[in-house]
Amino acid sequence: MVVWEPPSRDYDFLFNEVFDAIGSIEGLGYDDFDADFLSMLIDGWGTHTKEVWLPINELGDKEGLGFKDGIITMPKEFKEAYRQGIEEGWMATSCKPEHGGMGVPTFFSAVTWAEYGTSACMALSVLPALSIGVYEVLTHHGRQDLIDYFASNLATGEWAGTMCLTEPHAGTDLGIISTKAEPQDDGTYRITGTKIFITYGEHDMTENIVHLILAKVPGGPEGTKGISLFLVPKYLPSEWEDGGLEGISRDLNPDHNGVTCSGAEEKMGLHASPTCVMNFDESVGWLVGPLHGGMPLMFEMMNRERVATGMMGLGLGEIAYQNALAWSLERRQGRDLKGIQDPGQTADNILVHPDVRRMLLEAKVNNEGSRALAVWAGILLDQMHSEEPEVSEAATALVALFTPIIKAHFTDLGCETASTCMQVMGGAGYCTEYGVEQFYRDVRISKIWEGTNGIQALDLAGRKITQDYGKNLRHLMWPLTQFIEENRDNHGMAEFNKPLYQGVKGLQQITLLMIAEGMANPHFLAAGATDYCRYFGNVLLGYMWAKMAKVCLQKKGEPFYDAKLASARFFFKRIFPETVSLAAKIQSGPKALMDYPVEMF
């Protein structure tokens, strides 16, 4: 039986002791949002996901979805759980009150909401996450009649949203998409083309599905500069006659808008999350944002979804760890190598074995370090909207830098953690009865979604560290070096501060090497990008563990804080040294890769 307890105590610690989450949103329009309200949200969402979402997760994996004649039917338990979430307002936490939302800060919805939803039922969690992404692009860039008509139903979850990028011949290289948008006299466009790998592209969870589609208007520029973004609903309004939507009701025409599903992929995991082939046949759509300006808007949504995908790695890593730990606390095999621990039992508990402890502690410590970095990133997502230029500039730079790291490093760790937790449980971990094998199958897509992790690494190494003459990196180095300097003479911090200093110094040196060598030989940068991203991720987690340790040193003797200190020590002794080998791999350059003859593969 699967077990899971929402890590609410950890979030309380991070939001209120490590970071000043409430103070960070001062002046951003959240005047009525305080620590008590935040605590209520964390506990309430934890209760909802544990009691409503978690019980349907295994069912969804086993039952999957139905596909017949272009129609996808979801398990009734999924529809019931989703409806309960709508009725309790959980789908609209971060949306504006005028659209039926709670209007809470982004740091809750992007971090805590995402982790709990993924842990409890990843297959269901992606539906509202996508819908909110469509809502945000629409409300920031759509014309007013589109906002008035679509925003409220997207916010509350009554209608669902998708983003449609990939085509059969165009994945990462979106400049070669062939979907066309023909302009009409009434201001609408007729969209024609096929999109693949569309999550929740078709289903019966909501009355309507609103697609954001990348397409090209004939006569536009070549490549990505000719791509525009269009909003295309599955069903048009019943009263709609021309291009305008102002003042009409949300009653829907029962005839679909030329939007059909011709296939649903059979996948390794996420069996209750539809992955669709979508066809658009002269479907009516509206331009969102400027003509030929679709790529920046879609990347705006994708970057938010990349953070959400990173949280999927954390969410499934956490529930995998909790189940492996619960198993370990009951399991007895062999004896402690230093002597029998439980003479009254036929075997000792497996936690006496160093390798079992290694696996569990790697899972636990990486999860908790990632959660701390996620909280920092969530706060920055809010601070990007500050009216103080120095605050918004720094937040924007750091979010740009952190996004590929969170997406790639968290999902790499999530896959490693789920696999490791299966290993802890031995043969039981490989059996469906205990749930961890499902977590491994489900989390595996996270390394591929929203741009593969190799693409994220290239984005970090090739763009984000050099952007605006290194501005992003400077905004990180300031707080890092300041923290190290502030704690240089703090004796209690030495075991954390000294390795952090070495890691940051190494990061600076490796970054300069990547830039210098990469300018002369782009293969050098590309060959080292993945290792560089992991190196960077470890340094950021090291910074998080040092910050947490500083708080906990003031409260030694209390079990929660003592456990954190022990975890910080484990991180710096057993995980952080990986940076040394990563640096060596980066420094080796691309020769061993690129000189390898093709015929020898």
Q: What span, in angstroms and rounded, lies between the C-alpha atoms of 410 and 404?
A: 10
Residues with Cβ within 8 Å of residue 260, at least 6 apart in sequence: 70, 278, 279, 281
CB atoms within 10 A of CB 563: 13
Using a 10 angstrom Cβ sphere, with 0-12 exposed, 13-18 middle and 19 or more buried, the burial of residue 184 is middle
The SS3 assignment for 447 reads helix
**Both tokens assigned to 145:** 């009649």
For residue 353, report the phi and psi dihedrals to the nearest 5 degrees: -90, 125
The SS3 assignment for 302 reads helix
CA angle, residues 331, 337, 343, in degrees to nearest 5 = 60
167 within 8 A of 194, measured Cβ to Cβ: yes
Q: What span, in angstroms and rounded, lies between the C-alpha atoms of 366 and 410?
A: 9
The half-sphere exposure of 175 on its side-chain side, counting CA atoms within 13 A, is 6
Residues with Cβ within 8 Å of residue 596, at least 6 apart in sequence: none
105 within 8 A of 33, measured Cβ to Cβ: yes
Three-class HEC string of 229-287: EEEEECEEECCCCCCCCCCCCCCEEEEECCEEEEEECCCCCCCCCCEEEEEEEEEEEEE
E strand or H helix that includes residue 195: strand 189-199
Using a 10 angstrom Cβ sphere, with 0-12 exposed, 13-18 middle and 19 or more buried, the burial of residue 568 is buried
196 within 8 A of 167, measured Cβ to Cβ: yes
454 within 8 A of 357, measured Cβ to Cβ: no
Strand 227-233 and strand 209-216: pairing?
antiparallel
**Both tokens assigned to 56:** 């349907």
Phi-psi map region of 187: left, alpha, beta (phi>0 left; psi -120 to 50 alpha): left
Q: Is 136 an annotated catalytic residue?
A: no
For residue 292, report the phi and psi dihedrals to the nearest 5 degrees: 65, 15
Which listed residue (158, 362, 450, 517) is catalytic?
450
Radius of gyration, CA atoms only, the chain: 25
Please name the residue that has the structure tokens 């002369």. Answer: 520
- Nearest CA-CA partner of 19 in 305, 382, 400, 310: 382
CA distances from 440 to 357, 374, 437 (A): 20, 21, 5
Residue type, 90: W
Crossing angle of helices 436-443/114-141, nearest 10°? 30
List, in sequence order, every residue forming a beta bridge with 349; answer none if it has no partner.
332
The set of catalytic residues is 450
